[in-house]
Each structure stands twice: as C-alpha cells, then as structure tokens.
Amino acid sequence: MSKLIFERSSPGRRAFNLPGLSEAEKSCRLHIPGKYFREQPAELPELSEMEVVRHFVGLSRRNFSVDGQMYPLGSCTMKYNPKICERVAALDGFSSLHPLLPQLRGGGMLTQGALEVLYETEQMLCEIAGMDAFSLQPSAGAHGELTGMMLVAAYHRDKGNRKTRVIIPDSAHGTNPSSAAIAGYSVTTVPTGPDGDIDLGKYEAALGSDVAAVMLTCPNTLGLFERDISRIAAMAHKHDALLYYDGANLNALLGRCRPGDLGFDVVHINLHKTFATPHGGGGPGSGPVGVKKHLVPFLPTSIVVKRADGTFALEYDRAKSIGYIAPFYGNFAVILRAYAYMLLLGGNGMREVSENAVLNANYILAKLKGRYDLPYARQCMHECVFSATRQLAKGVHALDVAKALIDRGIHPPTIYFPLVVKEALMIEPTETESREQMDEFISAMLEIADLAERDPKAFADMPRTTPVSRLDETKAARNMKFSA
Amino acid sequence: MSKLIFERSSPGRRAFNLPGLSEAEKSCRLHIPGKYFREQPAELPELSEMEVVRHFVGLSRRNFSVDGQMYPLGSCTMKYNPKICERVAALDGFSSLHPLLPQLRGGGMLTQGALEVLYETEQMLCEIAGMDAFSLQPSAGAHGELTGMMLVAAYHRDKGNRKTRVIIPDSAHGTNPSSAAIAGYSVTTVPTGPDGDIDLGKYEAALGSDVAAVMLTCPNTLGLFERDISRIAAMAHKHDALLYYDGANLNALLGRCRPGDLGFDVVHINLHKTFATPHGGGGPGSGPVGVKKHLVPFLPTSIVVKRADGTFALEYDRAKSIGYIAPFYGNFAVILRAYAYMLLLGGNGMREVSENAVLNANYILAKLKGRYDLPYARQCMHECVFSATRQLAKGVHALDVAKALIDRGIHPPTIYFPLVVKEALMIEPTETESREQMDEFISAMLEIADLAERDPKAFADMPRTTPVSRLDETKAARNMKFSA
Amino acid sequence: MSFVANTDRDRAEMLKVAGFAGVDGLFSDIPADLQIARLNLPDGRSESEVYDRLHNLSHRNAHNLVCFLGGGFYDHYIPACVDELASRAEFYTAYTPYQPEASQGTLQAIFEYQSAICRLTQMEVANASLYDGGTALYEAAMMAVRITGRRKILLDSGVNPIYRNILYCYTSNLSIEFCEVEVSHGQSDRQRIADSLDESVAAIILQNPNFFGGVDDFTDIAALAHAKGALAVVSAYPISLGLLKAPGSMGADIVTGEGQSLGLPLSFGGPYLGFMATRMEYVRKMPGRLVGETTDASGRRGFVLTLQAREQHIRREKAMSNICSNEALCALRASIYLSWLGKQGLRELAMLCAQKAEYAKTRFSAIPGVEVKKTTPTFNEFTLALPCDASVVVSRLVDKGFAAGYPLGRYYKGMGNYLLVAVTEKRTREEMGMLAEAMEAVL
Amino acid sequence: MSFVANTDRDRAEMLKVAGFAGVDGLFSDIPADLQIARLNLPDGRSESEVYDRLHNLSHRNAHNLVCFLGGGFYDHYIPACVDELASRAEFYTAYTPYQPEASQGTLQAIFEYQSAICRLTQMEVANASLYDGGTALYEAAMMAVRITGRRKILLDSGVNPIYRNILYCYTSNLSIEFCEVEVSHGQSDRQRIADSLDESVAAIILQNPNFFGGVDDFTDIAALAHAKGALAVVSAYPISLGLLKAPGSMGADIVTGEGQSLGLPLSFGGPYLGFMATRMEYVRKMPGRLVGETTDASGRRGFVLTLQAREQHIRREKAMSNICSNEALCALRASIYLSWLGKQGLRELAMLCAQKAEYAKTRFSAIPGVEVKKTTPTFNEFTLALPCDASVVVSRLVDKGFAAGYPLGRYYKGMGNYLLVAVTEKRTREEMGMLAEAMEAVL
Ligand SMILES: Cc1ncc(COP(=O)(O)O)c(C=O)c1O
Ligand SMILES: Cc1ncc(COP(=O)(O)O)c(C=O)c1O
C-alpha cells in the first residue's frame, strides 16, 4: 500500500529552503494586525526533499501512460507527445513571461515573440479548419464548446433572433449538451439512425426557428463520418441555426477535409488531442475556437492582430465581443507545444496523420470484427466502436474486457461511451502506434474473447497485476472521503 | 522478458528527422572517393520516436535507484542528488560551451563564468580538504588516484629520489593498488590489525627509502577512523614517502576534520560521493586531486588562475607539470553540480553532513549488532561493516541477504568488500536517509536474520519481485555474449 | 515529421488486411468535393530547425525585466524538484484516471492535492481542479445560484477586475444580476454590503488580499451574508494563506483561487490552476472532478473518481458544470510544491514576501511625490500613488530593466496615477533599492 | 541546506539508541587536535539564490557564438528525447549495476550500447565505456603493450594533439617509447610508417578523420602493422562512421573514440565518453566493465557485469586498468541517440555534415587570400590556409559572433596561419555565408 504523503510527514522535516532577509529587510515591521493572521499553520506534510522525490517517483510508477503503454482510449487521441515540444515550452523566454507584460508598453511590444506564436497558431488553425478566425483562449474542449455557445448566443442577440434550443445527437459527448445548457439553452436530442449517421428525418423534425445551433462531432463518436453533413448543414442554415463542430475527432480529417468546408460556422479544436500536447493526467488542455466571418466580431477579448509594420498587438476594444472567457490568452504553454508540433508536421505531415490514424483504426476493426460485435458495420474513421454484447451473453462486461487488457499491459479503450452503444468498447489507436504494437493489442483482445467464452468467471478478480485490484466505487461514493 | 532495442527494430522506421539542405548546399559534390565509404550502413535499430521512448522508459523501470529506494551501498555514498544541481547543469550558457573556446581569445576571456566556477570550486575544496591547490581534471576516483600517483612520481623524480614501492593496506579498495601499479609502482600490502586500524608494526617494517607513497583511505573501508594517523604520517614522511588520501570516505569527516591537517600530501575527492553528484548508473564522476605546496608545480595542465584584475585565465605553461591527464578541465558538468551543492550547503551544512552520516551509521550499527557479527566492535564513522558469518553457519551468504533485501524494496549494501571481512555487508546510509527509512531497513535486516535461522533454504530463489531472478554469472562468462 | 511509426510497407499490408485498395478508400465516406488536395501550409521541418525558431522567438520577449508585476499572478521561485517530478512521463502522458487500477499514481496525487487545498483553506472538500482562478470564481457563483435558487450576486470591487469581467462574460445569457459594491479606502465596505444584502442575494463574492493588495478578515461579512441566506464566496491567494486567516475560518462557503503561485510558471497566462473548496453539505452541487478513497477486494486502500453524477458525462445537460479535462498536471505541480514547502515552509515563505514588501514600501515612500497607500494592511502587494500617469512611469522603467508593477488606470477610473506593486521572495533588497532609485529618476 | 532528513529530535533519540551523549562523541576516534571548529566557508544559501548565481555565471560565457569549432568535439544537435530519457531518475540516480536483478535497466542499456558500438565500428566486442576519447586511446596503447609484450608505439601526427599529450603524460613513468610519424600533405605517410615499423612495435595509432579533417582508409597500414606483429589502433569520430569505412573493416585491432558527438552536450569539456572496441580474441586484455548476456533460473534472459577478473576490484594491482566508475550515463545517452538516428539516420546525418562542409569550402575558397587545403578528402572538418595569423583572425571573428574554428599554430609548429573549421548539421547556409563574409571583412 502506498502511503499518503501526509502519512510520511514528520514534524520539523524540511525540503524547503528560502532566501534569507537582509538586516534592512528584517528590521521592517509587518503592519498586519493580529486578527488577520491565521492561528495555526496549514497542516501540510513535512518531509525532506528526498522523501518528497521518492514519494512522487513512487506514485508515477503506479500509472499507465502513453510513454509506457499503448493507450487506445477512444475519443481522447492519446498519440505520442514529442519531447521537443516539452523542451520549447520550458524555454525561459516563454515560461517566465508575466501575462500582464504586454500592457506595460504599446500593446504587446514587450512580448513580440509570444504574440507571434499566438498569431501564427491562429493562422495555421484557420487553414487547417477552414475557418476565418480563431481564439486560442479556451482551456479545453468543453471550454471551447461553452465559448462557442456564447458566440452563438451573441450572434443571435445581435441579429435580434430569439432562439432557445440547441440540437444535439444522442451519440454526442456529455460536454456538448452540458455546454449548451450552461450557456442558457435547452437541449433537443436527436437519435442516431440505424447506420450510425444522425437520423435525418428526426433531425429535420427537431429543427425550427427557435433552434440556435446544431452541435455535431464529425466523425461522430461512433467513429463514423456523418455522410449527410452537407444536407445537415443546409437544413440548419435554413433556420438560421448555426452549425457547431466539436473538434475532438479532427485527427480523422486532418489535412484532408476541413470543418469549414463542411458547412460548420463555429468549431473548437482540442490541441491536446489532434495536436499532440500531453494530457497531463487530465489536463491542462487547450480548446481554441474558430469561426466563420459572420461570427468574428463576437470573439472573446483580446485578439492578436498583426500591424502593418509586421509587429503584433493585442486588441481589447471590440464592441461586440462576448468578453473575457479566460484571464489572458489561453493556455499559452500548451499552445506553444501545439505550435511546435504544427511546424514539425507541416501540411504534408498533417495529412499523414489522418491517413495513418484512419488506417490503424480500420486495421483493428478488420482484425477484431469477427470476435466482437460491431454495432454499425461500416468502415470507420480514426476509431472503431465495438460492443461487448457477445461477451455479455457469457456474463463478461466491457469493464471486464478493460480490466483484462490492463493485465496484458495495455490501457483499455474508452468503455460505455458513446451511450448509444451497449457495452461500448471505443478503440482509437492514433497514427503513432506501430503495426506490431497493434498486433499485440489485437492478440490480447482475441485472447480475451477466447477467455470470455471459455472461462467467463476468470475476469472477476482482474486486474491482478496492478498495485490495487478492482476498487469499490460504491464505497467511495458512500464514504465521501475526499481528503486526508 | 524485455526485448532488446534491436529486436524492436523494423526496416524503414524512423525517429530521426534532420534539417534539409538548401539547393546551394545540395549542389556541392562530395569529394570523398568511393573507397573511403562504408559499404553497409551500421545495423542500428530502426524505431519510431515513441518506440524509442517506450523502450527506455521501460528499461528505466527495471532499476533500483536513490530516487526510488534506500540505497545503502557502502563506500559509494549514495546520498540524495539535489534536483537544483541538475537544473544548473542544464543551463545553456554552460552546457553548450565548447571546450576550445578559451583558446580563441586571451586565455579564457570568452568563458569567464565557467572559469569562475572552476576556480571557486578549487578554492572551496582546498579549504575543505586542507590542501593548497586542486586540479579538477580527473574524471573519477580511480582517475584521481592515478593522477595522484603520477604527481608522486614527478615529485620524486624532481627531487632525484629513487622510489619503486607504494604501501597500501589490505583493506584498501581495488583501485588503490591498481592505480599505483599502473603508475609504475610495485605494491606492498600491509595487513589490518585486530582492531581495524592498520597494523602499525607491519607498516613500519614495510616502510623504507624506496617507498614512494602510502595510500590510505580514512576512515578506512571498514568505516573506522585510522586512530594512529599522525604517527603513520610522520613515519612515512621520515622516509620522504608521500601520504596519499583516497577521499572516497570524506563524507565522514566533512567540515570536522581535514585530510591536509592529518598529514596527507595528496588527496582525491569523489565529487560523485561526498558532493552529491548523481552516480549515473556507474558514472560520470569527478575525482579532483588536491596537493600540498610541495606538489603544486607538478599539477596537470592546465590550471585556472585568477588575475590581478579579477578575471580568470587558464595557465598552460608549467615546466614541471605532469601534463595532460584529461583533454580539458575535467568533467565540467559534474563539477558544476558539486559547486552548486557546495554553495547550497555552505560550511555549516557540510558539518551537518558528517554529523548525520556518522550518526546514521552508528544508529544502524547499534540496532543490528545483536543479530549480525561485527568483526571490529568499535563505533564506526559513516558506514558500518558487518559480517554474515553467523548466517553463513546456516548456509545463508551475504549474497543471500542482499537478494532478500531487494525483495523488501531496499538496495543491498556493498557485499564481499572490504576483502578483509568474510561475507562482508558494508552499510552506508548517508546523511540523507531518514530515521523512518532506516528503521524500515533495520526491520528488514532483522527479519532476514530471523529467516536465516528459521528457514535458510528460503533464500535460494530470491529475489522474486524483480523482472529476472538470480542470474547465472558463470554462463555469462562462458558464453561471452557481449553484443546483440 | 509526423511521428507515424508505420512504413509504406506496413501500410500496404494493413490496407490489404482492412480491405482497401488504397489510402483514399479509407476516406470514401467523405464526399469527394468536400475533400481537399492539400493544406496550404509549409512542409514539416526538423526538430532542430523548429527548436531554433522557437528559441529565437523566445528571445523576442522582455522576460528578463525584474518583475514587480502581480495582479493575481506572481513571480515565485519554482523549486527544481517540482519540474523534475511533474515531468515524469508517467504523469504527463497519462489522461484522466478513468481506469483507477491503472492510474493510482494520478488518483492518489489528486487526492493529496485535494487534501492540501482543504488544509490551506480550512474547508471540508476540494475538487480536482478547474481551469483557472477566474473561471473557478464563475463556477462558484453558479454553484451559489444552484444552492440558493437565487440569481443575484454581490461583487466586491476589490475582486480582480479580470475575474469580474469573466463573471460578466459567462453569465451574460443567464439572467444573473450582479451588484458591484465599491470598496472604500481600499477595503470592503461593510455598510454598503449590509445595505445591498437581502433575501434575493445568492452570494457575496470577496477577495483576500483584494486587488489593491489589502488584507481583510471577512468573518463579519460572511455572518451578514448567512443572516440573509446568502453564501460567502472568497477568492484567495494561496501563498498568503501561509500567514493570513483562512477563508474557512471566516465562515466562507466556497473558496476559490488561482493556483499559479503554487509552483506553476507564469507562462504568459497559462496553463494555470483554478482551485475550489467548499463545505461537505454542498459537495453534490460542486463542479469538477472529485477523487475519493475506497478499498479493493482485499481491503487495500485505493482512489477513484467519485460522485460522478454531478458531471457532464453522466448528467449531460443537467450537470453541475461542463468541465471535462481540467488542470490535473497543474494540480500535481501545486501538490509537489506544497509538499516541498510543508507546514513551516509555507509560513516562512509568506512571512518573507510580506516582510520584503514592507521593506519595499519604505524605499518607495522615501521618493518625493510618491505615496504608499496605507489605508489597509497589505500582504505582498500594495498600491503607490504617483505624481503622474502610472503607465508612463512604468514604460520608462521598462527601459531601466524593470516590470515595475501594474498601472491601475486601465480597470479603475480615476486611478490613472496608481501603481500596483508586488514583491515575492525572489526580489532582493538590491533590486528593490534599484527600482526605487530608478523610479525617483524617471518621475 | 544540507538535505539531511532528520530533525534535532530524531537525532537526540538516535544518539541515545547508539549510546552517545552527544554528536561530538561520534567523532571521538579522531584526536581532538585534528578536528576543526568550522570551515572557513560562507554559510549555505537557498536554492533560488544558488540558481541566480549560477544563472548569472552562465551568462558570462560566449556560448552564443555560432560554432565552427571542432577539433574532436562537435556541436551536433541533441534531440529532446535524449535529454528526457537520460534524465529519468531511475537511470541517473542508480550506481554501477552490482546487483543485476535490481539493475536490469542499466545493464540492458549498456549491453545495447556495446552492441551499437560494435556495429558502428565493425568490431566484435566493446566495453561499457571509458572516461573520454583521449584516455581511451591511452588505454588502447597499454592494451596493445599487454597483448604484444612490446613497448614501442608509433603515433601518427594526425592524431589529435591533445590525445598525444595524454599518451605522453600517462606513460611518462612506464618506459614506453613513442615514435611520432609526421603526416605528409595532411595524410598518414605510408612510407615513413613502413620505415618505422619493426618487430619492437606494439601498435601504430591512427585517427580517422585525422586532426586536419583528412579522411583515410587504413587497410594497408593495418596490414603493414600486422605483418610486423603490431596492432593497429584507430581513434574514430563516430558520426563519420555513418558514411566512412569502419575501422573494423580496415583491419583495426582496437578502435577507440570520443563519444561526445553522440548526444552529449559540449559542457566545456565533460563529461564525455570514451568508447573502445576490439576483437574477441583480445577481450580478456581489454580494460573497463563489460556486460554479458545470461539467463536466470527460469530461463529468462538477463544481463550481468562479466569477465570481472580483468578489473581492479578482483585483480587489484594486476588489473587491466584501474577504472571503476566510468561514463555509464554518457553511454546511455549515446545509445538513445543512436537509437533515435537508427540505421538510416546516422547515414543521412553524416551525409548532411559532409555536404554542408563542402558548401562551406566553396564559400571560403572564394575569399581572396584564403586557400582550402584539398590534399586529402575530408568529412566535416577541413583546414584553411589564411594569409595571416589564424588566431588573430579568429579573435576578430569573435566580435562578429563566430567561433570560427581552431587555429592550428598552438599544436603544429609552422601552421600559425592555418585554421581548422568544422561544420555540423546545425550550421545553416546563411551562417556559413555570413562567416565567409565576416572573414573576408576582417582579413
Ligand atoms: C467528443 C468529445 N467532445 C468533447 C470533449 C471534451 O474535451 P475536453 O476534455 O478537452 O474538455 C471530449 C473529451 O474527451 C470528447 O471526446
Ligand atoms: C574506497 C574507494 N576508493 C576508490 C574508489 C574508486 O572511485 P571511482 O569509482 O570514482 O573511480 C571507490 C569507489 O567505489 C571507493 O569506494
């Protein structure tokens, strides 16, 4: 059992060391009255630096990660995170830059390098997504969605439209309906048709003049390209409903197909997926939002502009802007990594990404479809979604399959999402997995399928190779122990 | 089983990416005749960058290390390596400095910062060791010894002394006799007396006018202070034999006792031990050599001097110097870490080092002496040497004790060294281990002592928790497979 | 360089296995007219060229100015072990710990982070992180709305103006009513607050120290709020909690803040770390992920994401928040940083900052024409009244090598001559002296 | 800051357990008059202060000069993954793998390194590392002496003069006789070598490319040496082996070299990496550690240190070398670097360097008064004859931002006007052009 850091604490131990005060500084009396002081110092752990190091090194070794294992977590695009991107993000000239520095002189003259990074990233994203402008401020995909919905609202308000609803397919990620709701809209859910595309009839029926936007993921979360996308767009636009693109799955289209060309008005992109910035155990991410011309005036404050003399500036004075969605310019160090990644790949490399991501997924699909049920029997895009229904018949759940994979040294796919697939196993290898590694994964999956038929009870105590075995989630929810 | 990187290779895979050539460059023909070319490219492995990363991350996880485990490897001073020292060693202004740069202008004007580091390190080492000058060039302890022996030879040559022998106690580390021999001396071994000090009578008998030097470690490798050190020194000096100090154990004396004050003429210091630079899986180290005045003229070329104007220069023109023992100024990045460490500790911190190192070792000694044989029943300095003879009576060797410790998550002590102790277990906790961690170690040792009595056969298949169990060393020597 | 592993040969074989004649077939679901031939972007470049480019760009920033800029974002020293540990591949290349058995490292680290935030703020439960201090405050406001069922919020004007802008932005479609309460003499105005509080108020939002650097004890205000059934929301600067009364002991119901100062580089605005803590009774209304302790079948302790019914992936449009990816790695950094400081270290650090700020004040007050505002006690940031436009002074000081502080005129009308100066443990006596001298020279 | 974990309380309790009244008792074996009260050194400083000091010192170096310096030490680009992987704590905070089961990571990495060196040099066995290329060459010389029982060594004057100095230094007490053989027209002089070779010669030591940058094929010289029972020792620049004939295929008996170019920073002279490879028949005479493959009881492959009877800790004064700690972490870096490059990458990199050097030559030869020495083919380094003292020119070019090369006058009499210029893949066409222009301007 791994001790909590608080359990390793011993009074008086210290890792910290701080500069001393000069006599002159020491002689200054604090002018803070006693009542403002805290009575007891916070009970933070007390350890030597080596003990801190061993603790966290030890914790790190209790994790699966992309650098350790194949991590085909569907919808999350767990591709390789190039190490050069870490190196550039650590450059002093970026990492030690105070965000208020631009305001100290002439709208950004003190941070031209950083502003150039932002500007060029926006320009590249415009080309990649087929949009007219980008804001890099959102901190993650969901944050981008919310920003997008606020842009939608601002657009309609500006036009005097009265809109109350957002249409979202039932296969959508939970953040989509949540973002729409949090932006003040009610959500109308449209079902998926039998072939995995949106049910067009039901979609048409759901549309109406009160619809502010339609939020789609494309390819959708079933890993399938929405084949009627042009009609879907046209139908939405007929009602002056805007089409929103959840860019979580852009890896499938990179360099080959652009959301802007498909008719989307607003998009967000997950830099931590398509553009290889590390996921950090659950963030930080970055979810830039791109828009077509008619939405540009509403973009968040500030935006980066290029002056006639080639210098860059931050523009704050924008009458129609929705305002501040982040304190500054977005998750700059994440954007910086993505920028480096884009330079590394270039236009040619990006096209290789989608080609290989889609090929890898179809390769897995082909190899597994005989043994796992495929709810929508079509070629897939960058991920393939199976159902463990056949295994369930023997009492083996998607969760069991997942735990068995852990014991085989592979991080499980996303399970139980999308919700429209029973016992979903959503597999996204990404373009960076090698054929050999995928073959290992495939063997493991086939072995698991065998085992499910032969000895379904064997799964109960998996995983066995991890520091803990299956954890009691009900107990966690009941006990409500959230801190030491 | 962990695959070799060559076994992960697949033709055409590539991690590498290189800058392109401009047209102008491309158009230049190589003027290398065909016969100078190699016929086949070297069969290096071909992997994607992610595969390279996973391979080495995987390998790293098959290691014990200071940051992972207690590592009380006697004589090696496996103390904590402060992370700040890694940070400063990575500073561009040091790491990208070409060693020939000083020669491009005015004896070092282009590298004043680096020379100041070297100069100040030398000054501090002089104070710490009680010597008059230091050369930082040796790359490790043994390298320092060899340099020291060459200084001894130069000294005697300069004085016209004819000396052929070096006296070394039987407890000495193997590098001592080896270094003396490689420098051209024959070695006279003097036994350890019954109380762990050198046998004074035998020592006196061994001395003579042909003795160039006496090499001592102090405290010696039994972890015991050489109590007759002053007499030993005086006796050597009577014969104009120089006294050499193997500084591997300086951690015991730091800030409290200086080899120079004990009568040593030449010393080496292991920066990778006493001064906390990381051991790197077996180097790089740094083994600066310090000398008293009478040996200064012989120091290796170059030396760093401080000019009257406060600038620093490299002096090459030194008639009596033994010459080049390293291409440049030593393992600079290692020295840099040690310099940072010395600044962090200061004089006060260094004294804490020896106090705590010695206390920790005596604490372990007190707790284990009831259950393990102590060949020299004295208080120890920074390490304590037990013998597993009591366990051997049951058929349990020092090696078995070591393997049992591995299964308990602790790196074993040094075993079978010093050679004068049968079944030696040489335990050096260093000052950075906490009492709790030592208590864990002690419990493990006591548990092992119990087990040795109760069930000596249980050791045969230990360790069990490692990726491989006990390896067949004879087979390795017989098969002579040294490469893939 | 696309980091693709497979070779042409691999691809050819795989296409065959998958039943495709060629790569284009993989995309046959996409109508041909919606496909492009190529992106209008330059070809990829090598790692060393990209490094050179970025290295050059990094030098086109004035990051070497001696930093007295604060405004909620501080130039604290980051111990090397924070960088080293947080850059362990197993931490930074993992994702959200959906599979707890394969993610105990991340889960335990977050649990410890939650614990540290609780102890720091003296609250009962903290979430796993939010995007930043500003959005955390917005989430707190919405949480208060959910808890109270009311839609009016009092907002102290001492709250960071950037955060106030964020609150306005996010709620602009939600018919939430804000009422800003002006500080008086740099301190929250009890009278005005009492006058504005009524049964329609969901929460009062306060900040400590406030944007002018003023330190306060909000116990009385929290009591006033509670008396009207409103919540007290406090945004706090975590380093100050080494010294100052914790919001929890003032009666705060929700505490948020920006965690940047806990071992995160300034990085031109992000990634940062929004923390949030509350009372246990409100936990089900709290946004964000939450790690809880449990056991496995053999009774071994382990950690899992829990109370997920609050979250978007379960509750969709009814979730407490839409947040999914948060700032886990930043929370890890904060946790390492706080572990490095420990109980005594945080206190000493806070003392150091406060003491240095007092010293700086003595230097500035010696400059003719400069007045240190002393109406409220301060922690490590304070306001100077200059004899002329602060932004002009600041620009002149840039030429002398200083980022001298933040001119208040931008966000506070009538405060054009006011400068907000922050002092951290990194600022030496010499630097403070030199800034004072430089300021005297440019005035 | 001494990084000591224990507190005063811990110490008091431990002293009691160990039976000491106080700390001084721990040192009672040391005569009191030999103890000091304190070191005359300043007190310890905090991490942030030490960082500031070192950061400032690092800026007092001209590391930003565009680097055309070589001389055996090259400014190659180091891929980020080398730094990241080699700085895994499990690698860099471990020591020599004495306990193989707890050190398979290090052991396998060294085994792979040995394998890569063998493949690169086309030799049969490589050791785990030596200090640097210079001491490796000295060790090779002594190894040849051991193998042949002879004490005379021929030394080509194209061998790095620093290495020649090292050879002289180490052997000055060992009655080894050196005979330097002058190159003629920048190339090893076959005639002189043949004339100097006789049955008393243990080895001839050669370098490829030699110090002037000249490329050679030593097959004939190796044959000449073998005919006299002498060994051929070749010091090689590993990057050049991407393109050039491997010493192994020339008949070399011992190959050494400096591994700095394989992913090690220049770091002002170290730590570097001496590599050494030889034929299997000589393995027992080879210095340094050696990792071999074996199996455990259940047949699983594993790696151990082997043939240790060659080493000091077993053989003491009869060991092949006194080396103990070597350059393991540097070998790891080299192994990662070579794995990153791979078979094709090393070749392409070598091509790139050679091609760029050819381009540089065209630029320099266009400068009036400057002559590119073309007597021998070169790889990525070449010699310029300038119309005046090269060290003066170089000093002037420093002011223009260049480390233009290495003036040969220091080590070669009569070559005061000669400049050795190295070009790596990091040098752009623009930089080469700018250097040529600057040189023209300062001449
Ligand atoms: C389809 C989809 N949409 C939106 C999101 C939310 O993105 P983020 O986690 O960056 O907020 C995700 C995240 O997994 C996703 O898969
Ligand atoms: C007592 C002693 N002397 C000398 C050495 C040799 O030092 P190095 O390995 O740095 O060459 C060691 C190394 O362990 C040692 O313990």
Neighbours of C366 (CB within 10 A): 11
Of the given ranges (A56-70, A236-250, B386-400, C364-378), which has the lowest mean pLDDT? C364-378
What's chain A look like in SS3?
Answer: CCCCHHHHCCCCCCCCCCCCCCHHHHCCCCCCCHHHECCCCCCCCCCCHHHHHHHHHHHHCCECCCCCCCCCECCCCCCCCCHHHHHHHCCHHHHCCCCCHHHHCCCCHHHHHHHHHHHHHHHHHHHHHCCCEEECCCCCHHHHHHHHHHHHHHHHHHHCCCCCEEEEECCCCCHHHHHHHHCCCEEEEECECCCCCECHHHHHHHCCCCEEEEEEECCCCCCCCCCCHHHHHHHHHHCCCEEEEEECCHHHCCCCECHHHHCCCEEEECCCCCCCCCCCCCCCCCCCEEECHHHHHHCCCCEEEECCCCCEEEECCCCCCCCCCCCCCCCHHHHHHHHHHHHHHHHHHHHHHHHHHHHHHHHHHHHHCCCCECCCCCCCCCCEEEECHHHHCCCCCHHHHHHHHHHCCCCCCEECCCCCCCCEEEECCCCCCCHHHHHHHHHHHHHHHHHHHHCHHHHCCCCCCCCCCCECHHHHHHHCCCCC
Average pLDDT over residues B168-182: 96
Q: Given a contact as 3+ CB pairs under 8 Å, which chains touch C? A: A, B, D
The values of phi and psi at residue D312, to 5°, are -60, -35
Q: Please report the residues numbered 326 through 345 in chain B whose beta carbons come closer than 8 angstroms to any beta carbon of chain A.
A: 344
Span A147-202, pLDDT tens digits: 999 999 999 999 999 999 999 999 999 999 999 999 999 999 999 999 999 999 99
Any CB–CB contact under 8 A between D49 and chain A? yes
| Distance from C-alpha of C153 to C-alpha of C161, rounded to nearest angstrom | 16
Residue B5 pLDDT greater than 90, yes or no: yes
pLDDT one digit per residue (tens) for chain D, 443 residues: 899 999 999 999 999 999 999 999 999 999 999 999 999 999 999 999 999 999 999 999 999 999 999 999 999 999 999 999 999 999 999 999 999 999 999 999 999 999 999 999 999 999 999 999 999 999 999 999 999 999 999 999 999 999 999 999 999 999 999 999 999 999 999 999 999 999 999 999 999 999 999 999 999 999 999 999 999 999 999 999 999 999 999 999 999 999 999 999 999 999 999 999 999 999 999 999 999 999 999 999 999 999 998 888 888 888 889 999 999 999 999 999 999 999 999 999 999 999 999 999 999 999 999 999 888 999 999 999 999 999 999 999 999 999 999 999 999 999 999 999 999 999 999 999 999 999 999 99
Neighbours of A175 (CB within 10 A): 30
Residue B223 pLDDT greater than 80, yes or no: yes
The angle at the Cα of D319, spanning D316 to D321, to the nearest 5 degrees, equals 115
Q: Report CB contact under 8 Å: C77, D426.
A: no
Nearest to D287 by CA among D315, D317, D323: D323
Span C1-49, pLDDT tens digits: 899 999 999 999 999 999 999 999 999 999 999 999 999 999 999 999 9
Q: Which residue of A has its CA nearest to B18?
A: A344
What's chain B look like in SS3?
Answer: CCCCHHHHCCCCCCCCCCCCCCHHHHCCCCCCCHHHECCCCCCCCCCCHHHHHHHHHHHHCCECCCCCCCCCECCCCCCCCCHHHHHHHCCHHHHCCCCCHHHHCCCCHHHHHHHHHHHHHHHHHHHHHCCCEEECCCCCHHHHHHHHHHHHHHHHHHHCCCCCEEEEECCCCCHHHHHHHHCCCEEEEECECCCCCECHHHHHHHCCCCEEEEEEECCCCCCCCCCCHHHHHHHHHHCCCEEEEEECCHHHCCCCECHHHHCCCEEEECCCCCCCCCCCCCCCCCCCEEECHHHHHHCCCCEEEECCCCCEEEECCCCCCCCCCCCCCCCHHHHHHHHHHHHHHHHHHHHHHHHHHHHHHHHHHHHHCCCCECCCCCCCCCCEEEECHHHHCCCCCHHHHHHHHHHCCCCCCEECCCCCCCCEEEECCCCCCCHHHHHHHHHHHHHHHHHHHHCHHHHCCCCCCCCCCCECHHHHHHHCCCCC
- Which of A48, A81, A96 to mutate to test binding with chain D, by most D CBs within 10 Å of its CB? A48
Q: Which two three-digit tokens encode residue D371?
A: 């002559």
Tokens 């609050």 belong to which residue? C310
| Distance from C-alpha of B208 to C-alpha of B318, rounded to nearest angstrom | 31
3 state DSSP class of C153: strand
* Residue A77 Cβ contacting ligand 1 at under 6 Å: no
| Distance from C-alpha of A337 to C-alpha of B24, rounded to nearest angstrom | 32
CB A226 within 8 A of CB A200: no
| C9 vs B contacts (CB less than 8 Å) | 11-12
Q: Report CB contact under 8 Å: D47, C87.
A: no
Q: Report CB contact under 8 Å: B73, D20.
A: no
Any CB–CB contact under 8 A between C362 and chain A? yes
Q: Given a contact as 3+ CB pairs under 8 Å, which chains touch B? A: A, C, D
Question: Residue D101: which of B111, B417, B466 has the nearest Cβ?
Answer: B466
3 state DSSP class of D234: strand
Q: Which residue of B has its CA nearest to A66?
A: B54
Average pLDDT over residues A426-454: 98
CB B327 within 8 A of CB D267: no
Nearest atom of ligand 1 to the alpha carbon of A270 = 10
CA of D240 to the centre of ligand 2 (A): 35
Instruction: Output the CA–CA distances (angstroms, integers) from residue A354 to A64, A335, C288, D249, in the order listed.
Output: 25, 21, 32, 45
CA of B181 to the centre of ligand 2 (A): 16
Span B405-416, pLDDT tens digits: 999 999 999 999
* Residue A220 Cβ contacting ligand 1 at under 6 Å: no
Q: Please report the residues numbered 454 through 473 in chain B whose beta carbons come closer than 8 angstroms to any beta carbon of chain A.
A: none
Nearest to A441 by CA among A428, A459, A431, A423: A428
Protein residue whose Cα sits closest to atom 5 of ligand 1: A141
Question: Residue A42: which of C270, C293, C346 has the nearest Cβ?
Answer: C346
Q: Report CB contact under 8 Å: B10, A58.
A: no
Residue A1: per-residue pLDDT? 65
Average pLDDT, chain C: 97
Q: Report CB contact under 8 Å: B48, C49.
A: no
The reply to whether the predicted model has a pTM over 0.90 is yes
CA of B174 to the centre of ligand 2 (A): 8
| CA gyration radius, chain C | 25
Protein residue whose Cα sits closest to atom 5 of ligand 2: B141
Span D71-117, pLDDT tens digits: 999 999 999 999 999 999 999 999 999 999 999 999 999 999 999 99
Question: Residue D41: which of B139, B347, B403 has the nearest Cβ?
Answer: B347
Q: Which two three-digit tokens encode residue D193?
A: 């070598």
| Distance from C-alpha of B142 to C-alpha of D131, rounded to nearest angstrom | 11
Q: What ipTM, to 2 d.p.?
A: 0.98
Q: Report CB contact under 8 Å: D77, C51.
A: yes
Span C388-401, pLDDT tens digits: 999 999 999 999 99
Any CB–CB contact under 8 A between C409 and chain A? no
One-letter amino acid for residue B27 of the chain: S
| D89 vs C contacts (CB less than 8 Å) | 84, 88
* pLDDT-based confidence at residue B53 (cuts at 50, 70, 90): very high
| Distance from C-alpha of B155 to C-alpha of B294, rounded to nearest angstrom | 8
Question: Residue B48: which of A8, A51, A434 has the nearest Cβ?
Answer: A434
Residue A60 pLDDT greater than 90, yes or no: yes
| A10 vs B contacts (CB less than 8 Å) | 434, 436
* pLDDT-based confidence at residue B219 (cuts at 50, 70, 90): very high
Residue B1 pLDDT greater than 70, yes or no: no
Q: Report CB contact under 8 Å: B333, D267.
A: yes
Q: Report CB contact under 8 Å: B57, C89.
A: yes
Nearest atom of ligand 2 to the alpha carbon of B75 = 16
Classify residue D230 by burial, with Cβ atoms within 10 Å: 0-12, 13-18, 19+. Answer: buried
- What's the gap in Å between the CA of D28 and the closest CA on chain A? 28
- Which of D54, D66, D169, D286 to mutate to test binding with chain B, by most B CBs within 10 Å of its CB? D54
Any CB–CB contact under 8 A between B64 and chain A? no
Q: Which ligand is nearest to the CA of A273?
A: 1
- Which of A48, A98, A163 to mutate to test binding with chain C, by most C CBs within 10 Å of its CB? A98
